[in-house]
Amino acid sequence: MKRIRFIKVKGKIYHLLGMYGGHAHLGLPFDVNNDVVKSCVIWEEQPFYYESEFSFKDRLFVKWCLFIRHLKTDVFENSDFRHFLDKIW
């Protein structure tokens, strides 16, 4: 499974759904349905930072987002956390 990528645009962290030729599709970091909330030409949205350029605080927020997304159910109502609990009991 591919790791979810994040990007920081104008001080707000988004889930990077796709970037094609500079046109970015961004979603909310906690949304497991991967809805597009912002579609833009990324070069016009300065400043933007890739995940490798994040500060320590932003990296912690990304880890928190990944944890919350892990606990939430996805579009097929499957959650790794729920299956983990089934294996324990």
Residue 20 covered by a domain: yes
Instruction: Give pLDDT, residue 82.
Output: 56
Mean pLDDT score of the chain: 81
The pLDDT value recorded for residue 60 is 94
The answer to whether residue 59 scores a pLDDT higher than 90 is yes
> Which run of H or of E encompasses 14?
strand 12-20
CB 4 within 8 A of CB 11: no
At 37 the three-state DSSP class reads: coil
pLDDT tens digits, 34-50: 788 999 898 888 888 88
- Which structure tokens are listed for 72? 């939430």
Residues 30, 68: contact at Cβ < 8 Å?
yes
In a domain, 64, yes or no: yes
Question: Is residue 44 helix, strand or coil?
Answer: helix
What does pTM read for this prediction? 0.74
Q: How many structural domains comprise the chain?
A: 1
Residue 70 structural domain: 6-88
Residue 1 domain-assigned (yes or no): no
